[in-house]
Every structure is written in C-alpha cells, then in structure tokens.
Amino acid sequence: AQTVTQSQPEMSVQEAETVTLSCTYDTSESDYYLFWYKQPPSRQMILVIRQEAYKQQNATENRFSVNFQKAAKSFSLKISDSQLGDAAMYFCAYLPEDSNYQLIWGAGTKLIIKP
C-alpha cells in the first residue's frame, strides 16, 4: 500500500531563518505527483508546491523549495526567510498517476514561527 510519512509532529523556527520539513513515501509506481499543502487555522488546504516525479529538477515557489530524492523516496520542504504567516500545519501528499486522483496524505507537521 502507498503511504506517506511525516516524522516531525512539530517544528519551530526563528523568524527570518530557514526550516526544513521532512516527508518520505512508499510506492512501487514510477509516475506520480507530490505536493506540500499548508493548513492554517482557517482550515483551508492551500497548495504550497507541486513536484512531478518525472522531473529531476526540484520545484521552487518563491521562498519555498523542495529536495526531491526519487530513489530514496524523500520529498522535503525548505522554507527560507520564515515569516509569521508561515505558521500552520504542513501536509505532504502523494498522488499516483492512475489513481483517479486520490491524494494520499501524511499526518502533518505543525510549524511554529518564533518572533
């Protein structure tokens, strides 16, 4: 069965510093997508960044970047220049290519930003 593991229940970082959130996944598929979502107290899941497995280049979105290691099945999120508004739950999610779009989620990491 495909699974997603986030081993850090909680992380904290000083404002303006860099933090990395970890995610590993288990799959036998070769084509899939990986996502990081942010869930603030408003509860809405907000897409942070997306990675296609066939792309070797790591995705970046402004202050957010990923380190995608396909062989190791690892997909970490780096947040640079952390801001107070980054405080939220962060979820890693996996989407198989032929899944009928069923996202498989990790348990989440709570990110605390210290002013």
Partner 1 sequence: ETGVTQSPTHLIKTRGQQVTLRCSSQSGHNTVSWYQQALGQGPQFIFQYYREEENGRGNFPPRFSGLQFPNYSSELNVNALELDDSALYLCASSRDGHGYTFGSGTRLTVV
Compute CA distances 31 → 17, 42, 81, whole Å.
34, 33, 32
Contacts of 71 (CB under 8 A, 6+ apart): none
Closest distance of CB 102 from partner 1, Å: 5
Closest distance of CB 89 from partner 1, Å: 9
- Residue ranges that bind partner 1, judged by CB under 8 A: 4, 37, 42-47, 91, 93, 99-108
Residue nearer to partner 1 on the CB measure, 64 or 105: 105
Closest distance of CB 4 from partner 1, Å: 8
Backbone φ, ψ for residue 41 (5° rounding): -55, -20
Residue nearer to partner 1 on the CB measure, 19 or 96: 96
Residue nearer to partner 1 on the CB measure, 8 or 80: 8
Compute CA distances 114 → 1, 18, 44, 82, whole Å.
38, 12, 23, 9
